[in-house]
Amino acid sequence: MSTFKFYVAVEPDFSSANSATRDARFEEVEEERDDDDDDDDDDDDDDDDDDDVDDDDEEEEEDGRGDIFFLSCHTNGCAITKKAANSSPWTEDNKVGTAVRGAPALIAFNSYAAILTSTFGVDHATLITGYDLRSTNLQSDILGVAYTFGVCSEEPSSLVEESFTEQTANTLAHEIGHSLGLPHDGDGNACSEDDFFIMAPSNALPTTLDKASNPWTFSTCSVDVMASFLAISSNRSLVLVVVVVVVVVVVVVVVVVVVVVVVVVVG
């Protein structure tokens, strides 16, 4: 396998427990829109005919907040499509209030991921949800869940909670790492969880500048396990390509999530 194909389903559910962060983002966008409107007041009289909006369009735009945006990422490009909110049974069927049982939702989503794998050759599929992910008994809060060694297998999927911060990117990379067979740093290896690399067991951020970039980087232990898992330990260049592809996908997902939020607010 010389290239990776990732499929990312972004499900921005707005009943999320992260509502405070989400609403703050909305307020920032609304303030920017108000500032833009003030700057354009002189042109309003000329554009009166363009201000009429069909009521059906307004209702359709409001309903759009529950839509799911699917991002299919390959090494040669990306494609975005839009689907109705009821197209996400994986979380809806495992929802309790605003919480979702992570493991059952992952199992359900994996059935869809298996179709992507057999039909489109996707190596890994991730669902990003705005719901609050929880353990099966709902007692523990979790950020994400994935099948270990799931890439290129019958379990090529992961589930990530949208935090409406850059932390989502870290969690996404972390779960993809598990799918590549990576254990946590400090779990039977020489790398320390206190260095805050992507595969650290917690999402705590470093407090010193020398480790500031570590949450966006795989440790040497992780890279070594990738090499072993891919059975290409003699070809480090391909391992580096895999790392770069994962990082690029993470960056693209962050950009798309921001765009989706802005589109929903502006709409």
193 annotated active-site: no
Residues in the annotated binding site for Zn(2+):
174, 178, 184
Q: What is the rounded distance in angstroms from the CA atom of residue 36 to the CA atom of residue 42?
A: 12
Q: What is the rounded distance in angstroms from the CA atom of residue 55 to the CA atom of residue 3?
A: 47
Q: 13, 115, 25: which is closest to 68 by C-alpha?
A: 13
The two tokens of residue 2 are 């010389």
Q: What is the rounded distance in angstroms from the CA atom of residue 234 to the CA atom of residue 133?
A: 39
64 DSSP 8-state letter: G
Select which of 11, 161, 162, 175 is catalytic. 175
b/e for 93-128, b at 16 or more Cβ within 10 A? ebbeebbbbbeebbbbbbebbbebbeeeebbbbbbb
Residues in the annotated binding site:
174, 178, 184
Catalytic residue IDs? 175
